[in-house]
Amino acid sequence: MRTRGFRDATCYVRRAVLGLALAPLVVGMARADAAAASAPPQADDRFVFLTDPNKGQVVKVGSLAIGGPQVQVYPVRPDGTVRNETPLNLVILARFDPTDLSEETQAQAAEGVVAYSAICTHQACPVNMWSKERDAFVCSCHGSVYNPRNGAEVMAGPAPRPLPSLGLKIADGTVVVASGFSGRVGGTQK
Question: Can you tell me the distance from the alpha carbon of 27 to that of 40, in angstroms, rounded to the nearest whole number?
Answer: 22
CA-CA-CA-CA dihedral for 20, 38, 176, 141, to nearest 10: 150
Question: Can you tell me the distance from the alpha carbon of 63 to that of 53, in angstroms, rounded to the nearest whole number?
Answer: 11
Lowest-confidence range among 10-19, 110-119, 120-129?
10-19
Q: What is the pLDDT of residues 118-162, one digit of tens each?
A: 999 999 999 999 999 999 999 999 999 999 999 999 999 999 999
